[in-house]
Amino acid sequence: MKAKTIGTAHLSDKTVLVRVDFNVPIMRGKIEDDFKIQASLELIKFLISKRAKIVLMTHLGWPKSGGAADRRKFSVKIIASHLAKLLDKRVLFLNQPVGSAKLQTAITKLKNGQVALLENIRFYPGETTNSLEFAKQLAGLADVYINNAFASCHRQHTSVSAIKKYLPSFAGPLLVAEVTNLRRVLKPKRPLIAIMGGVKVETKIAVLKNLLKKANHVLIGGALANNFLAAHRFNVGKSIVTKSGIALARRLPRKKLVWPLDLVVTTKDGRTAWRHLKEIKRGETIIDIGPETMKLFGNYIKRANTLVWNGPMGRYEDERARYGTLFVARAVASRSSGKAFGVVGGGETIDALKLTKMEDDIDWISTGGGATLAYLSGEKLPGLVGLIK
Ligand code: 3PG
């Protein structure tokens, strides 16, 4: 792997524009999980120590109207305050519009080692169209550009893509770490076991196709598995499936796929019950994998030398339906850290992993959702182009 890193570049007095991904969950004005913010602290502290003037930019959610309510809901001001606490240092929140003289002046006034955060970069229509005009405006704010937003690298958006045309551009340490670790999944020490779950089969199909080429076995659970079961004519009752999901599942080669032997369902009268795969009745809904499946999956996991896991095995947010997901989390964590190289990705998967308090045992927890899936699918990510080969 070849990466254009900042290395020993002379940064004192330089204004450095850093694309971070601080797209974090916020509920009632509170940041619920700051994992992605923490993941960029190393770079920010490094730039402070180099006495650079640091201008951070991130997106938050998908603001639509650009109206006042939208602007309040998706403002990143709260993130600036949170970051200030984490750094124990003032973080200037710059809500002056990109392209305005006011913003230019505020940035010119930054002192060496100061940190500032621009308002949500998706408030500008030019961001999501990868506009060259917007890229020039952003580039005009700084001397150097660093991309540390791996989780946004699958987007063909200005702040990760077009901007690179107009500034000397570098890959941040998080980009390098993500690519290094995810490459170990694509060039694995065998056996490679992939565990895939979650709901949206459409978002997983490309990664499944690629992993079916690379992995020794792919274990599937969650609503993803329902589509495969339905595609192979098992009755899945009222469980979540989609027509396109079933059609896609039908087209995937069956050879390396391992699917559930037994499941936990909710019955018509709302009870939970255990069922063998062939015993699911009309009106029942699959909510988790069953104990025989856990044993089966566990046997694959404990023989793996490389593990990658994305997507829960059921409705893990419901206490009655989280045994399978927690089992997989514990099995992957126990086999990782020394025995196998273990990678986990995806918001819900990380959430579930945290319930086991075993996240420190995982070798790499990816900050990416869609970006991680795209990378593991073998796609070329626009944000990495020119920075990492
Ligand atoms: C993510 O949460 O996966 C990244 O921040 C990308 O967000 P997006 O799907 O809104 O582009």
- Residue 312 belongs to a domain with what CATH number? 3.40.50.1260
Question: Is the CB of 152 within 6 Å of ligand 1?
Answer: yes
Cα separation, 141 vs 148, whole angstroms? 18
Instruction: Verify that 246 and 123 share a domain, yes or no.
Output: no
Quote the ligand 1 centre to 134 CA distance (angstroms). Answer: 20
Apex 351 CA angle, 347 and 355, nearest 5: 170
pLDDT computed for residue 8 by the predictor:
79
Instruction: Verify that 192 and 79 share a domain, yes or no.
Output: no
Instruction: Verify that 221 and 110 share a domain, yes or no.
Output: no
Range of the domain at 214: 188-377
Residue closest by Cα to atom 10 of ligand 1: 61
Quote the ligand 1 centre to 151 CA distance (angstroms). Answer: 6
Instruction: Verify that 258 and 318 share a domain, yes or no.
Output: yes
Cα separation, 195 vs 308, whole angstroms? 6
What is the token pair recorded at 329? 């989390």
Q: Is the pLDDT of residue 352 over 90?
A: yes
Domain-embedded: residue 324: yes
% of residues, the chain, pLDDT over 90: 93
Domain-embedded: residue 385: no
User: Could you give the residue ranges of the DSSP H alpha helices within 122-200?
Assistant: 125-128, 132-139, 173-186
pLDDT, tens digit (0-9, with 9 covering 90-100), for 30-66: 999 999 999 999 999 999 999 999 999 999 999 987 6
**Which pairs with CB-CB distance under 8 Å and at least 24 residues apart come from 70-76?**
71/123, 74/120, 74/122, 74/123, 75/119, 75/120, 76/22, 76/117, 76/118, 76/119, 76/120
The residue-averaged pLDDT of 284-296 equals 98
What is the token pair recorded at 299? 């046997």
pLDDT computed for residue 369 by the predictor:
95
The residue-averaged pLDDT of 160-168 equals 98
Instruction: Verify that 95 and 171 share a domain, yes or no.
Output: yes
Residue 94 amino acid letter: L
- Compute φ and ψ for 11, nearest 5 degrees: -115, -10
Question: Is the CB of 277 within 6 Å of ligand 1?
Answer: no
Contact between residue 26 and residue 33 where contact means Cβ atoms under 8 Å apart? no
pLDDT computed for residue 181 by the predictor:
98
What is the token pair recorded at 369? 């959702």
- 120, 147, 152, 153, best to mutate for ligand 1 pocket (most atoms within 8 Å of CB): 152
Quote the ligand 1 centre to 152 CA distance (angstroms). Answer: 6
Specify the pTM.
0.96
Q: Is the pLDDT of residue 146 over 80?
A: yes
Quote the ligand 1 centre to 62 CA distance (angstroms). Answer: 9
pLDDT, tens digit (0-9, with 9 covering 90-100), for 167-221: 999 999 999 999 999 999 999 999 999 999 998 888 899 999 999 999 999 999 9
Quote the ligand 1 centre to 21 CA distance (angstroms). Answer: 8
Question: Is the CB of 36 within 6 Å of ligand 1?
Answer: no
pLDDT computed for residue 7 by the predictor:
87
The residue-averaged pLDDT of 248-265 equals 94
Quote the ligand 1 centre to 253 CA distance (angstroms). Answer: 30
Task: Tell me how many domains the chain contains.
Answer: 2
